[in-house]
Amino acid sequence: MTAFFQNCINLMMAILKAIPDMLYDVAVKIFGELLNLVTFIISLIPFPQALAGGLQSFLDGLGGDILYFLGVTGFATGMSIIGAAYVFRVIRKFVTLFQW
């Protein structure tokens, strides 16, 4: 009978040691579902019609002299740098939990 009680005590100790791991798994599952919810909500936002044509349709309407000027001044490089800056800013805000 002593071995039975020892096994019961060992089982209870194993369960108590497993509780933090279970709580961690539950927290990870809840966080994953929260991210899925955010993804779903973002997918519900409609795409603006003003941006449907893109920048290329806007630039097609400009004259040849303006397009030449934009090419010489490095408009494409500047736009890519500005885009990278916005991406960096958004990532920084998410990483710091909107503290910056």
Burial (0-12, 13-18, 19+ Cβ within 10 Å), 64: exposed
Quick one: 38 and 25 in the same domain? yes
Contact 67, 59 (CB under 8 A): yes
55 and 16 both lie in a single domain: no
Regarding whether 21 and 56 lie in a shared domain, the answer is no
Residues 54 and 38 in one domain: no
**Shared domain check, 65 and 26:** no
- Section 8-35 average pLDDT: 94
pLDDT number for residue 51: 62
Number of domains in the chain: 2
Sole residue written with tokens 């941006």: 51
* Judgement on whether residues 39 and 59 belong to the same structural domain of the protein: no
Higher pLDDT, 50 or 84: 84
- 56 and 40, same structural domain? no
Could you tell me if 54 and 85 lie in one domain? yes
Between 23 and 57, the more confident residue is 23
The domain in which residue 77 lies consists of 50-100
Residue 54 sits in the same domain as residue 98: yes
Asked whether residue 99 carries a pLDDT value surpassing 90, the answer given is no
- Whether 98 shows a pLDDT value over 70: the answer reads yes
Q: How confident is the model at residue 50 (pLDDT cuts 50, 70, 90)?
A: low
59, 66 Cβ separation under 8 angstroms: no
Rounded average pLDDT over 39-52? 81
Instruction: Give backbone dihedrals phi and psi of 34, rounded to 5 degrees, phi first.
Output: -65, -40
Same domain flag for 93 and 63: yes
How many other CB atoms are there within 10 angstroms of residue 75's CB atom? 14
Q: What does the pLDDT average to over 24-48?
A: 91
Measured CA to CA, the distance from residue 100 to residue 96 in angstroms comes to 7
